[in-house]
Amino acid sequence: MSNTIPEGWEAPKLGQVFKLLRGSIVPQDNPTEKLEYYSIPVFDQCGSFSVVMGFEIESNKTLISEPAILVSKLNPRKPRVQVVAKKSGLRQCASTEFMAYAPKNKDLDLNFYKYYLLSEKFSNKLQLVATGSTNSHVRVTPSETLTWNVPAPPLPEQKKIAAILSSVDEVIEKTRAQIDKLKDLKAGMMQELLTKGIGHTEFKDSPVGRIPAGWNVITMESVLNKVIDYRGKSPPKSDCGIPLITAKNIRQGYIDENPKEYIFADQYESWMVRGIPTTGDIFITTEAPLGNVAKVPGFKFAIGQRVLALNPAPCISSDYLLYLMQSRYFQDQLELQSTGSTVAGIKQSTFRKILIPLPPVQEQQSITKPLDSIVRRIDSTFLKLHQAERMKKALMQDLLTGKVRVNVDARELADT
C-alpha cells in the first residue's frame, strides 16, 4: 500500500481481514457424492466451476466450508480470482493450487476484495514472491501474502466500488457474447459459401466434396506465384529495430503484436534474402500452431520460422484464399497431412499438394463480400471490448486506491 491512505480508509494486513482455509476433503471417500469443484482448467475454460462425482477427483482438495475468494498460487503472471459465495446445496471444494481466503468478519464485501486481488498491484506482488524450478511452474507461498497491507474502505464504499466494476464486467461479458455469436455466424456462412457458392443449382462430386458444377479442383501450388519460407533459420534478435513476425504472432484471421520481438535494422536486408512479402500476400503457420492464417501487414517486418508467406496468382483473390484456408475443409486437410508425434506440422512440399475448390474470380469476389462484412462487424465489436477492458483497468487503478472516491447516498448506506 502507498504511505498515503485515503481519508476514512484503513490499511490492515491481509491476514487481519482474511484467513486461509486449510480444511481438506478426500472426494474418493464418497465416490457417488456430487461436488461443486473449482479447478484451474475449468476456470481457464469458462471462469467458473464444474459439478463432478467424488470418484472423478483423484486427490485431496481444499474444502470450501464458508464464503471465500479463490486466488491461484500457480503462475500468478496469469491472474485467476473468483468468489465462492452462493451455496448450491452441494459441498464445495477447490484445487490446492488455489489459495482460499475466507473473511474474518462480515463487515466487508467479497466482490470488492475480488477486484483488489485481481488488481495489477496485487498481481505484481504475487509475481515477485513466486518461486519454482522453471518459469512455467512457479508458485506463491500462501502464508506470505497474509503480511501484505490491503485497502479497507468503509463497507458502503466497498459495495459501491464493487457495483461499478461489476457493471463494467457485465458490459465486457455481453460484448464477448456478441463476438462469439458473430464468429459462429461467420463460420456458418463460410461453410455455406465455400462449398455451395452463390446461386448454383447444379453440383458435382469431387475430391474435395460436393461443389458447384462450374468450379474446378486444383492444388495449392497452382494458385500461388510464390511461397516464401524462412524455416530452418533463426534470425538474430534485438531489443528494438524491425518487428519480427513469428508463428506466435499469427492468430486466426489477424496479426497480434504480442509477443514483441525485433531484428537489428542493419541486418534486415541480409536476413530477408528469401523474399519480402507484399500487400495481398497471406501468412500461414506450419507448426505450433498449425494452420493460423492472416493478411500480411502494411508495415515493414521480418519473418521468423514456422511461417509461410503466400503470394496468390491472378486466378485466386487474396481474400478468397484467406477465407478458404480458415475453412473447416482446409483445416482438416492440414491436420490429416501433418506429421510429428509431439507437435503437428506440415512440410511445404505437402502443403503445396493440398487440393482446393476454385470458383471463377468474379464469384470469389461475390463470396468474400458478405464474409468481409461479418469480419468488419467482429472487428468493430472487438474494439468495443478493448475499450471496455481499458475502462475497467483504469477504474480499478482509480477506485481501488481511493484516488477517485465514490459517492454513497443515503439509500446505499441503509442497505449496508
CATH at residue 239: 3.90.220.20
Provide the number of structural domains found in the chain. 2
Residue in the block written with cell 463497507: 155
139-152 pLDDT per residue, tens: 999 999 999 999 99
pLDDT value for 134: 77
pLDDT value for 233: 72
Boundary (domain end) residue, out of 323, 347, 371: 347
pLDDT value for 133: 75
pLDDT value for 319: 97
The answer to whether residues 4 and 135 belong to one domain is yes
Let me know if residue 407 belongs to a domain: no
* Interacting residues of 219 by C-beta distance below 8 A, sequence separation 6+: 352, 353, 354, 355, 356
Let me know if residue 60 belongs to a domain: yes
The answer to whether residues 247 and 342 belong to one domain is yes
pLDDT value for 106: 87
Let me know if residue 332 belongs to a domain: yes
The average confidence (pLDDT) of the chain is 94
User: Which of 122, 107, 119 minimizes the C-alpha distance to 152?
Assistant: 107
Boundary (domain end) residue, out of 347, 375, 398: 347
289-343 pLDDT per residue, tens: 999 999 999 999 999 889 999 999 999 999 999 999 999 999 999 999 999 878 8
pLDDT value for 15: 97
User: Which of 304, 356, 349 minimizes the C-alpha distance to 326?
Assistant: 356
Across the chain, how many H-helices and E-strands are there?
12, 25
What distance separates the 2 farthest-apart alpha carbons in the chain? 77
pLDDT band per the 50, 70, 90 thresholds, residue 414: low
The H-assigned helical ranges of 197-242 are: none
The answer to whether residues 6 and 136 belong to one domain is yes
Domain range for residue 320? 219-347
3-state secondary structure of 308: strand
The answer to whether residues 268 and 142 belong to one domain is no
The answer to whether residue 114 scores a pLDDT higher than 70 is yes
The answer to whether residues 340 and 231 belong to one domain is yes
Q: What is the mean pLDDT of residues 377-393?
A: 97
The answer to whether residue 110 scores a pLDDT higher than 70 is yes
CA-only gyration radius of the chain, Å: 27
Let me know if residue 170 belongs to a domain: no
The answer to whether residues 141 and 237 belong to one domain is no
Asked if residues 151 and 121 have their Cβ atoms less than 8 Å apart, the reply is no
Q: Which of 2-11, 250-259, 265-274 has the lowest mean pLDDT?
A: 2-11
Asked if residues 72 and 79 have their Cβ atoms less than 8 Å apart, the reply is yes
pLDDT value for 144: 96
Let me know if residue 415 belongs to a domain: no
72-90 pLDDT per residue, tens: 999 999 999 999 987 788 9
User: Which of 191, 295, 209 minimizes the C-alpha distance to 249?
Assistant: 295
Q: What is the mean pLDDT of residues 239-247?
A: 94
Task: Tell me the C-alpha to C-alpha distance, in Å, between residue 17 and each of 141, 146, 152, 372.
Answer: 18, 9, 9, 53
Q: What is the mean pLDDT of residues 340-367?
A: 94
Reading the block at residue 277, the C-alpha cell is: 512479402
Boundary (domain end) residue, out of 306, 332, 347: 347
325 versus 133: which is more confidently predicted? Answer: 325
What pTM was computed for the model?
0.85
pLDDT band per the 50, 70, 90 thresholds, residue 235: confident
The answer to whether residue 29 scores a pLDDT higher than 70 is yes
Let me know if residue 191 belongs to a domain: no
The answer to whether residues 234 and 337 belong to one domain is yes
pLDDT value for 412: 62
Let me know if residue 237 belongs to a domain: yes
* Interacting residues of 351 by C-beta distance below 8 A, sequence separation 6+: 220, 284, 286, 308, 334, 337
Let me know if residue 93 belongs to a domain: yes
Asked if residues 62 and 93 have their Cβ atoms less than 8 Å apart, the reply is yes
